[in-house]
Structure 1
Amino acid sequence: MIDSESSPRIGQFVLITQGREAGQYAIVIKVLDERFVLIADGDKRKFHSPKKKNIHHLEFFDSVSPEVQNSILETGRVTNGKLRYALTKFVNEQVTDLKKGEQLDGERRCN
C-alpha cells in the first residue's frame, strides 16, 4: 500500500513516462485505487474520455492545480479549457525553471 503522502491526488500534475503518450503532461482527475488513476489533458485526452494509467508509468509532481481540484470536488467535473489552461501554466513554469537550472550548470562548468 502507498503512503498517504505519496498517493496521487486529484488535480496533481504528472508526466507520462511509459506508453504512446510518453513525454506528455497531464492532470489526475480521478484516483481509481492504489494502482490506477484517470488522467486527462483537456486536448487529446478530454475530461469525458480520460486515460486509465498505472501509477508506476507516471512521474508525479508536488504541484496540484487548485482550480481543477476544487472544480472536480465541488461539481464532479472540470472543463477541458480549465485543464488546458492549468497544464499550459504549469509546463511554462517547469520549462522556465529547467532552463534556469541548465544555465546555472553551464555557468558552473565554465568557471
Structure 2
Amino acid sequence: MKESDTVPEIGQIVRNRRGRDAEQYSVIVGIVDKRYVFLADGDKRKFDRPKRKNLAHLELIDYVSPEVKRSLEETGRVTNGKLRFAISKYMNEYVIDLKEGEQVDG
C-alpha cells in the first residue's frame, strides 16, 4: 500500500521524516485537510501550540492511541502528559522489540 493511500486518524503516532524535528515521534491531534495535519508530542511541541505538518513529510505508523483519541473525541482536548504517555507506550511496545532483531514490513 502506498503512503498516499493511507488516511491519517486523530491519535495516530507518526514519525517525522523531514525538517528540524526529523526522526522524532508525534501524535496527530488535528486534521486540517487531505494534505496537512496538526502534531504535538507533549514535550517540545505542546497541545496548545501544535505543529502544522505536510503528510508527505511524515511516516504514518499503524498505531492509534486509544487514550488520546477518546480524550479528543469527548472533550476536544488532551493533556500533554497523555501525549507523552502515548508516545512512550508505543516506543516501549514496538520500537524496543525492533531493536531485539525483529523486522516490520511496511
Whole-Å Cα distance in 2 between the matches of residues 93 and 65 of structure 1?
A: 12
> Which segments of 5 or more consecutive residues in structure 1 lack a partner in the other structure?
105-111
> Which segments of 5 or more consecutive residues in structure 2 lack a partner in the other structure?
none
Tell me which residue corresponds to 1:98: 98
Q: How many residues align?
A: 100
Whole-Å Cα distance in 2 between the matches of residues 98 and 91 of structure 1?
A: 10
* Larger helix percent: 1
Runs of 4+ in 1 over 3 A off after TM superposition: none
In the TM superposition, what is the alpha-carbon distance from 1:86 to its structure 2 partner? 0.8
Tell me how large the CA RMSD over aligned residues is. Answer: 1.4
Whole-Å Cα distance in 2 between the matches of residues 51 and 40 of structure 1?
A: 6
Normalization by structure 2: what TM-score? 0.89
Tell me which residue corresponds to 2:71: 71
Normalization by structure 1: what TM-score? 0.85
Q: What does 1:32-111 align with in structure 2 at a 5 Å threshold?
A: 32-101=32-101
Higher-Rg structure is 1
SS at match of 2:100: helix
Whole-Å Cα distance in 1 between the matches of residues 20 and 83 of structure 2?
A: 20
Percent of paired sites with the same residue: 57
